[in-house]
């Protein structure tokens, strides 16, 4: 069966419609039919309008196919398609039956599934409701759990804080005081504080059962701690006990003191008093014994008669009549090795029995340094222990009141009989260094003590210094004078004494000490001038002053100190006295020549004031030519015997010969200007010859 293509069928149908429209108007119609036909025509016309753009309709209209024929063809085609479809259905009938059965089975299965799913949906709805109920119950249970945990936490903490475990009772009552005991004490302290601090606890029934036990444990702990600590303190009283080591061993039990402070203040006060009393006595006895041992090592340096201006024989140390040999007496005014005590300021304190076994003796400043070093070290250790163990810095003052009193009494007695100015100044510097040491340690406990010692040393130094000053001002010239132009022993004392004090003042710049040294310099100068006047000849007086001034300068330089104003002053007076001596020694040998040059000649060659004649200059020229070498030799011997310092003597001789050369040069200039002076040329000594002699003596002196 042939199937008409859809496009062709559509084309034919459309053409058939147009054909129907063409012939409709030829049929006879009644009114109703006419009206209906009109409506149909309008509808048909509307369809034609709608399909006028269709290609198939356009083809039908274009080809002029009649609608009847086209419709008939379409009907035939449809009938053929229907027949074909029936045939296809018959052909596929078995498959359709099978498909129908399968669809029925599927429908049954789906019906069952629907039933199951419906039931499942119902159950899910029921479960969802139950889940909501469970969720609400869970939230409620969670809230209750949190509340119960919070209550349990507080309750467990309460029980833990208030309960007294049997183990704690055993340790507090029967246990030894050790690390475990310290930890148990801390737990007991927390329980006591908990009971006392929390008002809610005081109203609890559990407290009535626990509080008596806690109180008994507190009393037992306090009793045991008291006995334990007191025994430790009494151990400090045993002879030869190393206090610092024992204190360090006690420090690990310092919580016992904290416990007593917090829970037994009266017992703590007793323990504190016991420690103060024990350490006060122990340290006082320790320092008293140390001082007694030091006294055996003391080397007496100076007495009240060991003063600058005191005559040697009156002190008795030319013949070693004093307590100490002459070697020790030399340290009265000279610093020497005594300065080493400042270099050893950080060294440990002396051990008396070792020094005594070696038969060693020390100046008092060495013993003073040792005693003060022991004091500051002990004070530092005690201050730190008191602060660490008791937590009270003020405890130190009560403990050290006794030891400081022992040291003060001894020191005051020694200082009252001390006439060693250098030793006192060394002690002043020692105290200053100890103050610096304590400052570096940041330990202020001895500040007032060190200040007090320093304030007691300065007045004593001033008093002893004034004794030296008065001894120079009031010196007996007749007993001090010796018929010897060499340096006087008083000058050596003064120079050594001044050099020592200047050396000790270099780093400190004490203006008051400089002022006192200036007063002392003026006193020694006055004394030297008075002693010089005891010599009958002016030249001897000058030689005496030069020797003493030169010695003073030399000692100031040898001391390695900056002599300052004192040294500069003595250098000036030395220079002026050398000039005086040069004039005196030249006048002694060439008086006529010098008088003539000074009165009859002028240093200015162009001056017309010269009125000398050949008769005036001839004797001078011949006299000089005859004995100038011998005179220089005598001057040389005079210098050698007069001056103890050869270097100074060489300078003086060179100055004298140089001045002589200047005088003789002026004489020769005068001779050249005198009428007929040329006849004396043969007698004039050449300047080169004089210079040669000057160089010769410069080499041999």
The overall pTM is greater than 0.85:
no
Give the pLDDT of residue 290: 94
Domain boundary among 142, 160, 178: 160
Average pLDDT over residues 677-682: 78
pLDDT value of position 254: 87
659 CB burial (10 A radius; 0-12, 13-18, 19+)? middle
> In this structure, how many other beta carbons lie within 10 angstroms of the beta carbon of residue 602?
14
| Residues in CB range of 280: below 8 A, 6 or more apart | 398, 399, 400, 401, 402, 403
The pLDDT of residue 35 is 58
Are 614 and 600 in contact by the 8 Å Cβ rule? The answer is no
For residue 22, what pLDDT band results from cuts at 50, 70 and 90?
very low
Token readout for 382 is 């005690």
Q: Is residue 22 part of a domain?
A: no
Residue finishing a domain among 474, 504, 520? 474
155 & 185 share domain: no
Give residue 408's pLDDT: 94
Give yes or no for residue 16 having a pLDDT over 50.
no
Residue 609 has pLDDT above 50, yes or no: no
Is 146 in the same domain as 216? Answer: no
Specify if 547 maps to a domain.
Answer: no
| Per-residue pLDDT at 169 | 85
Q: Are 2 and 46 in contact (CB under 8 A)?
A: no
Is 1 strand, coil or helix? coil
267 pLDDT above the threshold of 60: yes
Predicted pLDDT of residue 563 = 58
pLDDT mean across residues, the chain:
82
Same domain as 249, residue 343: no
Q: Which of 365 and 51 is assigned the larger pLDDT?
A: 365
Q: How far is residue 257's CA from residue 280's CA, in Å, rounded to a whole number? A: 19
Give percent helix, percent strand, percent coil of the chain, each to the nearest 5.
80, 0, 20
Closest to 445 in 3D by CA, of 502, 497, 381, 390? 381
Distance (Å) of CA 485 to CA 533, 550, 589: 12, 12, 20
Overall average pLDDT of the 207-223 stretch: 81
392, pLDDT greater than 90: no
Report which of 437, 574, 434, 426 is spatially closest to residue 495, judged by C-alpha positions: 574
How far apart, in whole angstroms, are the C-alpha atoms of residue 664 and residue 672?
Answer: 12
Q: Which of 397, 388, 450, 381 is nearest to 280 (CA)?
A: 397
Tokens of 628: 């100038």
Q: Is residue 528 a part of any domain in this protein?
A: no
Q: Which residues pair with 298 in a beta bridge?
A: 362
Q: Does residue 199 share a domain with residue 136?
A: no
Does one domain contain both 356 and 466?
yes
Kindly tell me if the per-residue pLDDT of 327 is higher than 60: no
Per-residue pLDDT reduced to its tens digit, 406-435: 999 999 999 999 999 999 999 999 999 999
Instruction: Tell me: do 288 and 395 sit in the same domain.
Output: yes
Q: Which of 6-20, 280-294, 450-464, 590-604 has the lowest mean pLDDT?
A: 6-20
Confidence (pLDDT) at 8:
43
- 196 shares a domain with 225: yes
> Distance (Å, rounded) from C-alpha 596 to C-alpha 669?
13
The pLDDT score that the predictor gives to residue 457 is 95
Tokens in use for 255? 């919580």
Cβ–Cβ < 8 Å for 228, 154: no
Count of domains forming the chain: 4
Residue 136 confidence (pLDDT) above 50: yes
CA distance 371 to 341: 13
Residue 61's pLDDT is 63
Using alpha carbons, select from 491, 579, 564 the residue that is nearest to residue 531: 491
User: Which tens digits make up the pLDDT trace of 35-83?
Assistant: 555 666 676 677 767 766 777 666 666 665 566 677 787 888 888 888 8
Query: What's residue 562's pLDDT?
Result: 60
- Band of pLDDT at residue 286, cut at 50, 70 and 90: very high
Q: Would 568 be classed as within a structural domain?
A: no
**Is the same domain home to 341 and 465?**
yes
Residue 414 lies in a domain: yes
Decide if 523 contacts 473 (C-beta within 8 A): yes
Provide the token pair at 28. 């006879």
How many angstroms from the chain centroid is the CA of residue 594?
Answer: 73
Q: Under a CB-based contact definition with an 8 Å cutoff, are residues 526 and 533 in contact?
A: no
Same domain, 231 and 362: no
Q: What are phi and psi of 240, to 5 degrees?
A: 60, 25
Among residues 355, 326, 628, 311, the alpha carbon closest in space to that of 479 is found at: 311
**Nearest partner of 400 among 277, 236, 289, judged by Cα:** 277
The end-to-end CA distance of the chain, in Å, is 170
Q: Tell me what pLDDT residue 336 has.
A: 85
What is the pLDDT, as a whole number, of residue 148? 83
User: What average pLDDT score do residues 259-272 get?
Assistant: 90
Please say whether the beta carbons of 302 and 315 come within 8 A.
no
Predicted confidence at residue 593, as pLDDT, reads 87
Is residue 172 located within the same domain as residue 156? Answer: no
CA neighbor of 518 nearest in space, from 530, 502, 534: 502
Per-residue model confidence (pLDDT) at position 302: 85
Does 30 score more than 60 pLDDT?
no
**C-alpha–C-alpha distance, residues 394 and 270, integer Å:** 16
Name which of 586, 603, 581, 579 is nearest 660 in CA terms: 586
Q: What is the mean pLDDT of residues 373-382?
A: 94
* For the chain, percent of residues with pLDDT exceeding 70: 82
Residue 18 has pLDDT above 50, yes or no: no
φ and ψ at residue 490, rounded to 5 degrees: -65, -35
Q: Could you list the residue range(s) of the whole structural domain that residue 418 is in? A: 284-311+327-474
Q: Are residues 292 and 406 in the same domain?
A: yes
| CA 472 from centroid of its chain's CA atoms | 49
> Both 153 and 170 in a single domain?
no
Q: Which two tokens stand for residue 499?
A: 């050099």
* pLDDT(158) > 90: no
The more confident residue out of 486 and 12 is 486
Which of 410, 444, 474 is the last residue in one of the domains?
474
From 154-168, 392-406, 433-447, 506-520, the region with the lowest mean pLDDT:
154-168
Reply yes or no on whether the pLDDT at 545 is more than 80: yes
Portion of the chain with pLDDT greater than 90, in percent: 31
Rounded Cα distance between 177 and 265, Å, is: 20
Position 195 confidence tier, pLDDT thresholds 50, 70, 90: confident
More confident residue, 64 or 640: 640
Query: Is the pLDDT reported for residue 627 higher than 80?
Result: yes
Asked if residue 544 is part of any domain, the answer here is no
Query: Which pLDDT does position 643 carry in this prediction?
Result: 87
Q: What is the pLDDT of residue 540?
A: 92
């Amino acid at each position: 069966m042939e199937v008409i293509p859809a496009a062709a069928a559509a084309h034919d149908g459309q053409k058939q419609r147009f054909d129907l429209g063409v012939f409709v108007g030829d049929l006879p119609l009644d009114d109703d039919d006419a009206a209906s036909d009109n409506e149909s025509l309008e509808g048909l016309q509307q369809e034609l309008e709608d399909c006028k753009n269709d290609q198939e309709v356009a083809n039908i209209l274009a080809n002029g196919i009649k609608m009847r024929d086209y419709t008939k063809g379409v009907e035939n085609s449809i009938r053929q398609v229907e027949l074909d479809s029936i045939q296809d259905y018959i052909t596929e009938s078995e498959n359709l039956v099978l498909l129908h059965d399968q669809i029925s089975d599927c429908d049954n299965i789906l019906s069952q599934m629907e039933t199951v799913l419906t039931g499942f949906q119902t159950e899910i709805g029921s479960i969802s409701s139950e889940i909501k109920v469970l969720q609400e119950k869970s939230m409620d249970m969670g809230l209750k759990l949190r509340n119960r945990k919070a209550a349990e936490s507080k309750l467990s903490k309460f029980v833990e804080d208030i309960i007294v475990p049997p183990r704690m009772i055993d340790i507090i009552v029967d246990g030894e005081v050790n690390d475990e005991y310290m930890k148990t004490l801390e737990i007991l302290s927390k329980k006591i504080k908990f009971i006392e601090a929390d008002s809610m606890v005081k109203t609890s029934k559990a407290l009535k059962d626990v509080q008596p036990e806690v109180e008994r444990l507190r009393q037992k702990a306090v009793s045991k701690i008291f006995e334990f600590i007191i025994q430790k303190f009494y151990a400090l009283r045993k002879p030869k006990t190393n206090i610092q080591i024992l204190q360090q061993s006690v420090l690990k039990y310092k919580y016992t003191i904290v416990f007593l402070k917090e829970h037994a203040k009266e017992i703590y006060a007793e323990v504190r008093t016991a420690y103060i009393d024990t350490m006060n006595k122990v340290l006082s006895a320790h320092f008293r014994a140390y001082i007694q041992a030091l006294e055996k090592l003391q080397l007496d340096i100076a007495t009240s008669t060991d003063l600058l201006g005191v005559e040697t024989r009156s002190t008795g140390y030319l013949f070693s009549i004093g307590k100490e040999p002459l070697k020790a007496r030399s340290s009265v005014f000279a610093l020497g090795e005594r300065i080493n005590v400042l270099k050893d300021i950080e060294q440990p304190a002396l051990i008396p029995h070792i020094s005594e076994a070696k038969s060693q003796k020390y100046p008092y400043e060495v013993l003073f340094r040792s005693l003060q070093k022991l004091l500051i070290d002990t004070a530092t250790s005690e201050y730190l222990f008191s602060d660490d163990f008791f937590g009270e810095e003020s405890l130190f003052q009560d403990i050290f009141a006794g030891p400081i009193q022992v040291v003060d009494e001894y020191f005051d007695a020694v200082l009252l009989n001390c006439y060693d100015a250098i030793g006192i100044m060394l002690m002043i510097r020692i105290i200053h260094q100890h103050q610096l040491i304590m400052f570096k340690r940041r330990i202020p406990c001895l500040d007032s003590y060190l200040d007090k010692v320093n304030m007691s040393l300065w007045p004593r130094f001033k008093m002893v210094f004034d004794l030296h000053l008065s001894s120079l001002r009031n010196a007996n010239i007749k007993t001090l004078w010796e018929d010897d132009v060499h340096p006087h022993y008083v000058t050596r004392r003064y120079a050594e004494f001044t050099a020592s004090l200047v050396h000790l003042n270099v780093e400190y710049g004490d203006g008051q000490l400089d002022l006192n040294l200036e007063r002392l310099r003026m006193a020694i100068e006055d004394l030297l001038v008075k002693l010089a006047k005891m010599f009958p000849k002016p030249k001897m007086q000058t030689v005496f002053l030069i020797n003493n001034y030169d010695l003073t300068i030399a000692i100031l330089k040898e001391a390695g100190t900056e002599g300052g104003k004192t040294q500069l002053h003595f250098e000036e007076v030395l220079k002026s006295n050398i000039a005086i001596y040069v004039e005196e020694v030249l006048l002694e040998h060439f008086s006529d020549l010098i008088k003539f040059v000074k009165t009859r000649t002028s240093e200015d060659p162009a001056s017309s004031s010269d009125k000398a004649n050949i008769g005036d200059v001839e004797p001078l020229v011949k006299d000089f030519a005859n004995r100038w070498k011998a005179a220089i030799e005598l001057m040389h011997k005079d210098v050698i015997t007069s001056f103890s310092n050869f270097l100074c003597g060489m300078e003086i001789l060179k100055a004298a010969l140089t001045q002589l050369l200047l005088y003789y040069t002026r004489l020769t200039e005068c001779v050249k200007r005198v009428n007929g002076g040329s006849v004396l040329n043969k007698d004039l000594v050449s300047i080169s010859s004089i210079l040669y002699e000057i160089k010769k003596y410069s080499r041999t002196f």
